Amino acid sequence: MLILGIIVFLLFIYLIYALFNPDKF
């Protein structure tokens, strides 16, 4: 369950990064 939480956390950071860097996606 802890691994699942880490994966969700990394996806959340990736989405924020994509929002602040839309030119790279």
- In whole angstroms, what is the distance from residue 7 CA to residue 1 CA? 10
Q: What is the pLDDT along the chain (25 residues), one digit of tens a residue?
A: 899 999 999 999 999 999 998 786 6
CB contact at 8 A, 17 and 10 = no
Determine the pLDDT at residue 25: 63
Determine the pLDDT at residue 22: 76
Fill in the amino acid letter for 7. I
* Sequence-ordered list of residues with C-beta below 8 angstroms from that of 24, at least 6 positions apart, any chain: 18
What end-to-end distance do the CA atoms of the chain give, in Å?
A: 30
